[in-house]
Structure 1
């Protein structure tokens, strides 16, 4: 397995690294993005940890490609803000419509280049959805009718089985969000696209752990890693910026 680093947006102020892990065969492609919102730190740390695990050969991609973009919005991340404008409202809404921001345009061009069959967008949100159905913390979100929905339900079942505190259980939400990277990947590229939302009120290490486990569930669903592998989430090294 090879892991290579590339740069998105060389020469621009928003330049950011991305990584590609390549197994022995070419398909399928899975793309994981984080940091579209700069203050959602646990999702960023989880994506960075995935890269570290791949580089150290502790997480092995048996075949296909895994594309990881850990910090999409570097400017917002440096300021620890959501981002102005909200980048997750600027992705193309139709095949004929362009993105309305140069950074989201570059991210979507990268997505088009690799045309992933699976697309995971890591985020964080307020509240526990188990206690309040109006909030998005602890949810997996997809577009209604997307072929990923059965895999989402299986992943939630597996996650909740391992979470003793039922207040922290995950729930599914099915709705389009025009302008988001997830809905763009689903609508335009036909990807099995999911937004992962952990809850801000939980400890950061717990949120990172949940992101890592969820991504690994989907990697198994996609067939990139062996179904009987060990989940790598017990020891998480976070990077202090």
Structure 2
């Protein structure tokens, strides 16, 4: 297994590190982004932990290629804000369309160059979806009719078995969000794309744990580890 560190948009105000983890055998390509919104720090910590664990050998990618961009929106992260404009509304909306922000364009181009089969976009949200269907906390989100849905249901089932407090259980939501990384990846790259949302009201260490476990479940779903 080989781990290399790179910089996206180097020498620009949008420069941000990313990692490429090459498995021991050929296999699928999984693209993981976090920090599209700069105030969702637990998801960023989970993505960075995965990169660090791969670099130190604590986690091994058996097959395929794993690309991790732990803090996409560095400017928003420095201010601990969601970001203006909202980067998750600036990814390509149409088959022939372009991204509306240079950072979204660079991230999307990186995924396209490596022909991503999977795209996990890690986020955080308000509320517990077990208590209200109107909130996004503790959900996995796919586009309607996505071929990723069966894998999401299996991951949710495994996660919920490990969570003793029922209010914290995960749910599946399905909707398109034009301009989001998830919908762009599904439409333009035909990737199995998922948005992961943990709930802000939970302890940060708990959110990091949930994000980490979900990513590991999807790596196994993809046959990569």
Q: TM-score range by the shorter chain?
A: over 0.9
Aligned counterparts of 2:27 and 2:154: Cα–Cα separation in 1: 22
Q: Deviations over 1:110-142 (max 9, x none)?
A: 111111111100000000000011000000000
SS in 1 for 2:193: strand
Aligned counterparts of 1:182 and 1:47: Cα–Cα separation in 2: 17
Correspondence list, 1:129-140, <5 A = 129-140=129-140
Runs of 4+ in 1 over 6 A off after TM superposition: none
Aligned counterparts of 1:73 and 1:9: Cα–Cα separation in 2: 12
Residue 12 of structure 2 is aligned to residue 12 of structure 1:
yes
- Determine which structure has the larger strand proportion and give its number: 2
Cα deviation, residue 95, structure 1: 1.9
Aligned counterparts of 2:26 and 2:93: Cα–Cα separation in 1: 29
Q: Deviations over 1:42-81 (max 9, x none)?
A: 0000001001110110110011000000000000000000
SS in 1 for 2:216: helix
SS in 2 for 1:18: strand
Cα deviation, residue 26, structure 1: 2.9
Aligned counterparts of 1:31 and 1:98: Cα–Cα separation in 2: 20
Cα deviation, residue 27, structure 1: 2.0
Aligned counterparts of 1:210 and 1:54: Cα–Cα separation in 2: 18
Structure 2 partner of 1:97: 97
Aligned counterparts of 1:166 and 1:220: Cα–Cα separation in 2: 25
Structure 1 partner of 2:121: 121
Correspondence list, 1:1-241, <5 A = 1-225=1-225
Aligned counterparts of 2:114 and 2:160: Cα–Cα separation in 1: 32
Cα deviation, residue 25, structure 1: 2.5
Q: Deviations over 1:117-170 (max 9, x none)?
A: 111000000000000110000000000111110000000000000000000000
Aligned counterparts of 2:11 and 2:52: Cα–Cα separation in 1: 26
Question: How many residues are paired up?
Answer: 225
SS in 1 for 2:132: coil
SS in 1 for 2:26: coil
Cα deviation, residue 12, structure 1: 0.6
Structure 2 partner of 1:230: none
SS in 2 for 1:27: strand
Runs of at least 5 residues in structure 1 that lack an aligned partner in the other structure: 226-241
Range that drifts further, 16-25 or 77-86:
16-25
Let me know the Cα RMSD of the aligned residues.
0.6
**TM superposition score normalised by structure 2:** 0.99
Range that drifts further, 109-118 or 167-176:
109-118
